[in-house]
Amino acid sequence: MRRVLAVCSLATVLAAAMDSATVAVPRQAPETVGIRLVDAPTSRQNDPRARDYIIDHLAPGTAIQRRVEVSNDTTHEVTVQLYAAAADISGGEFHFGEGHAANDLTRWTTVNPASLALSPGSKGQSTVTIAVAPDASSGERYGVVWAELPAAVPAGGGISAVNRVGVRIYLSVGPGGEPAVDFQITAMEARRGKDGAPMVSATVRNTGGRAIDLSGELRLGEGPGGLAAGPFPVTLGRTLGLGQSEAVLVALDPAIPAGPWTANMLLRSGMTERTASARITFPTKAGTSTAKVATSHGANAGRVAVVGLVGLAVVLALFFFLLVLPRRRRERDDARLPT
C-alpha cells in the first residue's frame, strides 16, 4: 500500500499556534520604485518568462520595441532614469554589470523617454528599442533595462547608495529561425546540510541554443514502507548560458527519512519541460553528500518502442513467408499449366 508522508516541522506548528494567539500588527510597506514589462510578442504569449523579461531572436539589421512601466510607490515625487546596461551568465546566475557597463546589446538599445518624473503613486511608460547592427555576429547577448533613482547623499556625509530595479534582456542574434531551447538533467546527488536537513542536488546541462531560467519540483516515491513525499519546489535563481552545466538544489524537511527513495525531478524553462529520476539515499552525517547517480530519462519507454517495432517487423516477415510467398508460387505454377 502506498502511503503519503505529510511533513510538518515543530517550528511550523509553534509558529501557527503563536499567530492564532496574537493580534497581527500591520507592517508599513517600504517606499519603492518598480518596473515591469508591459507587452510581449504574441508568439510568446504562453511563455511565462516572456511576461517578465525581454526575450527575442532577431536577424542582423532588424529591430524590436517593447514598453516598460515604472511605478512610484513612494510618498514623494521622484525622477527615474532609464537606461540599458550589460549583463552576463556564469556560475548558474545572471550577473548585472557595474553601473552603465556596455556590450553589443547596450549599444543597440535605446530607451525613450530616458527619464520619468513621477508623482507619488503614479506610473509612467518608456519604449525600449533594440536595433541590431547589420554586421552583427550570430550569438546570444544579455543585458538589463534599469530604472534608477538618483543617489541620496547622507546628511552627515559618507557613501551614497544607488537604488535601481530592472528588466532582463535575453537577445539571440542570427539568420533564420530561433535556436531551440533544450536541457538535460544528467545526475542527482543526495546531501545532508550542516543543520542536518536533507537536500537533493540535480546537475543540469544546457544543451540548446538559448539561455534558460530553471524552476520545477521534486517528488520522492518508493520510500521506506512505500512512503511518498512532495512535491518540493526547486530553489529558484538558476540561470544557465549556452553549454553551461550547474547544480539545482531542492531543500527538504528534516523529518524526511534517509531512504532509499526514487527521486523524480521535473524542471522547466519557459514552455520547455524535462524529467528525470534516480534512486537515492540521504547520508546520515550532517554536511556530507553521496556520489552522483546518473538519471533515467524514460529509457524503458524507448526500449518498449524498439521491441514493438522489432515485433512488428517479425510479424510482417512471417506474414510474407507463410501467406504471400506461397500464393505467388501457386499463381506461377498455374500459369505454366497447358490450357
Q: Are 36 and 25 in contact (CB under 8 A)?
A: no
Q: Check if the beta carbon of residue 280 is closer than 8 Å to that of residue 289.
A: no
Average pLDDT over residues 96-111: 96
The span from the CA of 127 to the CA of 65, in Å, is 7
- Tell me the three state secondary structure of residue 309: helix
> Domain ranges in the chain?
29-153+160-173, 180-297
Residues 194 and 109: their CA atoms lie apart, in Å, by: 46
Cell numbers standing for residue 40: 510581449
User: Is domain 29-153+160-173 annotated with CATH 1.10.10.60?
Assistant: no
First vs last Cα of the chain: how many Å apart?
Answer: 76
Q: pTM value? A: 0.77
Q: How confident is the model at residue 14 (pLDDT cuts 50, 70, 90)?
A: very low
> CATH assignment of 180-297?
2.60.40.10
Q: Is 106 helix (H, G, I), strand (E, B) or coil?
A: helix
Distance from C-alpha of 72 to C-alpha of 80, rounded to nearest angstrom: 9
Is residue 162 very low, low, confident or very high in pLDDT (cuts 50, 70, 90)? low
CB burial of residue 128 (10 Å; 0-12, 13-18, 19+): buried
Average model confidence (pLDDT) for the chain?
82
The shares of helix, strand and coil residues in the chain, as percent rounded to the nearest 5, are 20, 45, 35
Same fold across 29-153+160-173 and 180-297: yes
pLDDT digits (tens, 9 = 90+) for 51-87: 999 999 999 999 999 999 999 998 999 999 999 999 9
> Quick check: 316 pLDDT over 70?
no
Instruction: Summarize pLDDT for 284-308 with one digit per residue, the tens.
Output: 999 999 999 999 985 433 332 333 3
